[in-house]
Structure 1
Amino acid sequence: MTFYRLLLLLLVTAVVGALAVYLLRGDTGYVLIQRGDIAIETTVVNAVFLLLAALALLYAVFWLLRWPMRLWQAGARRSARRRFLDGMIALVAGRPNRAGQQLLKATKLRTLKLPALIAAHAAAHARGDRAEEIRLLDQLTEAAETHDLATELRARNELLDGRAGAAIEMLVPLAQASRLSPMGARWLIEALTARKRAREALAYLPRIRQSQQLPPDDLARFVSRILVAAIDQTTDAINLHALWADLNRDEKRIAEVAIAYAKRSVQLNLIGQAAQEIEAT
């Protein structure tokens, strides 16, 4: 890209020069610069070239003055990138303390600030430093790109601390605005289930399936657990029947789900109906 810009600049310069020669071929003009007893006489062509030479000289001086600063900035960028890489390696390798130290140093580079903050938060979470998590989340909240992510991570902490209601209050607005990530949807499912609202959580299961964030076996166990919780949380026969009718055939054929439905039917005195429903699947 730099080569093409230089080529374009040379082309424009050549065209302007040719145009100037054409316009001034008969008369080179006259320029007089006078200040007090000092007077400078020259032609327009010479004045233009002198002006361009002076500008080029100023640019060269400015470039030379900035050269040490550019060298220092280049070194700082290399150092930040190296620390970011070291921090990520330490995080994956199970050394969250070192990871946090290196990643926080990497945040000094503007282009790496947000990725480094996200990874540093993961390191703080891994070592159980909740105070550091909160501090990093405050910084992530300030950036528009990571505001929603910070909200979801706060909700996760609320859920882990046993405050599922607070987590729901944070995540539902994101879901309503279609800005909830698949991982956020998983935390919302867990929070709703913890508040005995597993029936509402079922609406978010397709997001979990589509995201492929869980291995097949783990996904099957997760879905089964939520479906069982939804069945166990039904309050009467009408709700149980409506829930069972909403499940697809594959969900009804999950052993744990069918057993949970049978047990809840017994508790609600729906033995005959439950037997027919299970046989129909």
Structure 2
Amino acid sequence: MKLWRWIVGLILVAVLAAFGWHWVAQDPGYVLVHWRGTNVQMTLVTLVAILLLAWAVIAALVTLIRWPFGALTRRHRRLSRRRLADGLVSLVEGRHAEAERDLNRAARYPSVRGPALLAAAEAAERHGESTRALETLDAAAQETPRAARVLRARLLRRGGKAAEAAALLAPEAGTAALTPAGWVEYAEASLETGDARSAMRALEPLQKSGELGARAYTELESRVLAAYVGAAADGATLATLWSQLPKAQRRLPAAVDAYARQAAKHGQTMAAMDEIETALRREWSSQLIATYGEMGSEDIEQRLRRAESWVDAHPNDAALLTALGRMCVRVRLWGKARPYLERALAIAPSADAWEALGDVYLGEEQPELAQRCYRNALALSRGELTEALPEYRGRRIDTRVTAVEERDQHGVPRLSP
């Protein structure tokens, strides 16, 4: 397409030139220049050509005169860009002192001064020079005030001054003038100071901008909603707050989990159960089933029957098996709890499952096995190795390997390939 455009353009230029030359040839014009007794006669076309030639010669002379002076500027610009690039590479590679030095040198050239100072402040902070980083940000604020403010808030939050970071961004947050990075910092600082309501204000502009990406935004939204719901002081406040949230936010597993825990804490166990069961019918979540099994002893038999009905569709969910084992422990069904916990440990060992199995052995008056289970729970929470129980040796299912049955979303077993 570009070639055809060039061809058509050249044809148009040729046609215009032909018509123009024909028009000028009919009457080329006449110019008389009289200066101090000297007469110069020429056509108008000749005069225009002389003027264009004179302009080209003067421009070339000016360029030639300015070239030695511009060489220094070009060299400075080239060095500044190279130092900026070297400084950014050093910053990523962890050579923070070298990065700060190169970036401060790059900041001497006006065109890259703002970005160079911002990166130099980051390098100084990573090098442990917080005071120098803030001083560098003071200089960067003259070039890029909004970016410098966001970076200052980030450095303050990293330094344990989340309240100062939130106060720094609060004026722009009040007018909805924060950049996407500013909203993220405002949300993080508000969460760290326990001000979940302020953090909620950042969700809508971040969602509209789409700059975080779906996964990062969902993670931040989940944390903010969990903190917001978890801050309810009583059951009435919790119910009002939950009903005012948009439907999409009430469907997030983290939000449902926070609501259920708070509802159970305020004596609203039935509401918590209903919300979890509704969420699990909509989308299965190991996080929610774990909370379902931790909700205390109220209506434990009903919850146990409901959870057992989910095993056919999710036979390999270690969180479900652990929750069943823990609920069986609460109603002292030791023989029923053990198979659930053994399978959970075989699929995905966890400290909760080991602890619940220890409770089983303690209920069966086997203190030595119970103590070993508790030691395994402690070791697993520390990231250490666990030891198999004597009873498991020589058995088909142990805590190290199991044959895991695969099923589809309808609970139908999949055939092996």
TM-score normalised according to structure 1 size: 0.71
Deviates more, 1:79-88 or 1:259-268: 259-268
- Number of the residue aligned with 1:119: 119
Q: Cα–Cα, structure 1 residues 124 and 73, in superposed 2: closer, same or farther, change >3 Å?
A: same
| 2:239 maps to amino acid | H
- Number of the residue aligned with 2:136: 136
- Number of the residue aligned with 2:146: 148
What secondary structure, in the 3-state scheme, does the structure 1 residue paired with 2:177 have?
coil
Distance in 2, matches of 1:250 and 1:55, equals 69
* Cα offset, 1:101, TM superposition: 1.5
What secondary structure, in the 3-state scheme, does the structure 1 residue paired with 2:122 have?
helix
Does residue 110 (structure 1) correspond to residue 120 (structure 2)? The answer is no
* Cα offset, 1:154, TM superposition: 2.2
| 1:127 maps to amino acid | H
Q: Cα–Cα, structure 1 residues 31 and 258, in superposed 2: closer, same or farther, change >3 Å?
A: closer
Deviations 1:167-194 (A, max 9, x none): 2333233234333122211211122223
| 2:155 maps to amino acid | N
- Number of the residue aligned with 1:240: 238
Q: Cα–Cα, structure 1 residues 275 and 64, in superposed 2: closer, same or farther, change >3 Å?
A: closer
Q: Aligned to 2:170, which of 146, 163, 172?
A: 172
Q: For this pair of structures, how many residues does the alignment match?
A: 253
Q: Verify the 8 A CA contact 1:148 1:174 in the aligned structure 2.
A: no
Distance in 2, matches of 1:213 and 1:280, equals 29
* Cα offset, 1:240, TM superposition: 0.9
Distance in 1, matches of 2:78 and 2:202, equals 43
Q: Cα–Cα, structure 1 residues 250 and 152, in superposed 2: closer, same or farther, change >3 Å?
A: closer
* Cα offset, 1:241, TM superposition: 1.0
Does residue 98 (structure 1) correspond to residue 89 (structure 2)? The answer is no
| 2:102 maps to amino acid | Q
| 2:124 maps to amino acid | A
Q: Verify the 8 A CA contact 1:148 1:179 in the aligned structure 2.
A: no
* Cα offset, 1:55, TM superposition: 7.4
What secondary structure, in the 3-state scheme, does the structure 2 residue paired with 1:142 have?
coil
Gap runs ≥5 in structure 1: 1-6, 34-39
Distance in 1, matches of 2:51 and 2:251, equals 85
Distance in 1, matches of 2:211 and 2:109, equals 33
Does residue 188 (structure 1) correspond to residue 183 (structure 2)? The answer is no
Distance in 1, matches of 2:270 and 2:54, equals 99
Distance in 2, matches of 1:221 and 1:29, equals 82
Deviations 1:219-278 (A, max 9, x none): 555443333322222122222112322153665452x54443333224323333333343
* Cα offset, 1:67, TM superposition: 2.1
* Cα offset, 1:207, TM superposition: 4.6
| 2:223 maps to amino acid | R
Distance in 1, matches of 2:142 and 2:41, equals 56
Q: Cα–Cα, structure 1 residues 23 and 123, in superposed 2: closer, same or farther, change >3 Å?
A: same
Please list, as runs of the form range in 1=range in 2, the aligned pairs for 1:2-21 lying within 5 A after superposition.
none
Distance in 2, matches of 1:167 and 1:157, equals 8
Q: Verify the 8 A CA contact 2:163 2:189 in the aligned structure 1.
A: yes
Q: Aligned to 2:200, which of 192, 199, 202?
A: 202
- Number of the residue aligned with 1:71: 71
Distance in 2, matches of 1:205 and 1:89, equals 33
Greater relative contact order (CA < 8 Å, ≥ 6 in sequence):
1
What secondary structure, in the 3-state scheme, does the structure 1 residue paired with 2:202 have?
helix
Q: Cα–Cα, structure 1 residues 190 and 44, in superposed 2: closer, same or farther, change >3 Å?
A: same
- Number of the residue aligned with 2:82: 82
Gap runs ≥5 in structure 2: 1-12, 280-417
Distance in 2, matches of 1:29 and 1:261, equals 95
- Number of the residue aligned with 2:272: 274
Distance in 2, matches of 1:61 and 1:253, equals 71
Distance in 1, matches of 2:124 and 2:85, equals 17
Sequence identity of aligned pairs in percent?
27
What secondary structure, in the 3-state scheme, does the structure 2 residue paired with 1:179 have?
coil
- Number of the residue aligned with 1:231: 229
Q: Over aligned residues, Cα RMSD in angstroms?
A: 3.7
* Cα offset, 1:117, TM superposition: 2.4
Give 1 or 2 for the bigger CA radius of gyration: 2
Deviations 1:38-68 (A, max 9, x none): xx755476xx899999877765554333221
Which has a greater percent of helix?
1
What secondary structure, in the 3-state scheme, does the structure 1 residue paired with 2:94 have?
coil
- Number of the residue aligned with 2:324: none
Distance in 2, matches of 1:199 and 1:177, equals 16
